[in-house]
Amino acid sequence: MDILNTNEVDKVIKDYKPTHIIHLAGQSNVKLAWENPQVTILNNTIGTLNILNAIKNYSPYTTLLSIGSSEEYGSSSEVLEYIDESHVTHPKNPYGVSKLSACQLVQQFVGAYQIQAIHVRPFNHIGPKQSEGFVTQDFAKQIVEIEKGRIDSPIKVGNLSSVRDFTDVSDIVSAYYKLLLNGRIGEIYNVCSGIGVSIQELLNEFVALSESFIEVKVDPSKFRPIEHKFIVGSNKKIINDTGWNPKMELGQSLLQILDYYRKL
């Protein structure tokens, strides 16, 4: 269904009365959000509102897992800090605004209408088959194209100085499952590894996993209008409440992403 079509959303939720909904539909690319903020706000915020409204009207016993983002915090600290759920929220791009607005609507619907909802703030997640336009895909695809002789070195990269917190998508999925079972209704949960990795380190790991000679060229057109230096989270709350713990090492995830492109 189209989450912007209220008739369709209402009908599906009324007909199925699902026990659980994991709401992942949305525009998730930060760069694209700068290029098309309207589409981002519409899908991420109004789309979530439509689902909340349908649950309120037609299926009040549904548990909703609303997927937000660490971009809601908009941390711009110059020193590494571990962002927990009580951290101030000052989103720095339209994507972060769209997800924070969705989060606030979720909390209002929980308070006003007793909707059974939990809001999640996942930090960067990675894995094979992620859409292009995210950093690991952009790097891996170019490296494999060089390995296969389809393009020449160098690979083009954006800002290498930022620091992010990466979790394998398989661990993210297990976090969502555990939150549906044991998360507290009305709460916000970070999903993250708690480990900060600079994009330069990420690139170095990728290059080390390839036998080809990879040169690197920084391409200013890949920079964003505003860039966060550090986005690293605290995962204490989800671990305490659900027993979740990420299992995949970063190197394993990067190898799986490279191997995915190698087999294409």
Q: How far is the CB of 61 from ligand GDD (least distance, A)?
A: 29
Q: Which of residues 110-129 bind ligand GDD (CB under 6 A)?
A: 123-124
Residue pair 12/57 in contact (Cβ under 8 Å)? The answer is no
Map residues 230-249 to x or -, x wherever contact with ligand GDD holds by CB under 6 A.
Answer: -x------------------
Residue pair 63/117 in contact (Cβ under 8 Å)? The answer is yes
Q: Which of residues 167-196 bind ligand GDD (CB under 6 A)?
A: none
Between β-strands 197-198 and 163-164, what pairing exists: parallel, antiparallel or unpaired? Answer: antiparallel
Q: Which of residues 22-51 bind ligand GDD (CB under 6 A)?
A: 28, 30
Number of residues that bind ligand GDD (CB under 6 A): 21
C-alpha distances in Å from residue 38, one per residue of 20, 28, 29, 264? 29, 13, 13, 34
Grouping H, G, I as helix, E, B as strand and the rest as coil, residue 219 is coil
Q: Which of 87, 92, 119, 164 binds ligand GDD (CB under 6 A)?
A: 164
Q: Does 135 bind ligand GDD (CB under 6 A)?
A: yes
Q: Judged by CB, which is closer to ligand GDD: 102, or 157?
A: 157
Taking each helix axis from N to C terminus, what angle separates 199-208 and 250-263, rounded to the nearest 10 degrees? 60
Between β-strands 116-122 and 125-126, what pairing exists: parallel, antiparallel or unpaired? Answer: unpaired
Residues binding ligand GDD (CB under 6 A): 28, 30, 69-71, 123-124, 133-135, 138, 157-159, 162, 164, 199, 222, 224, 227, 231
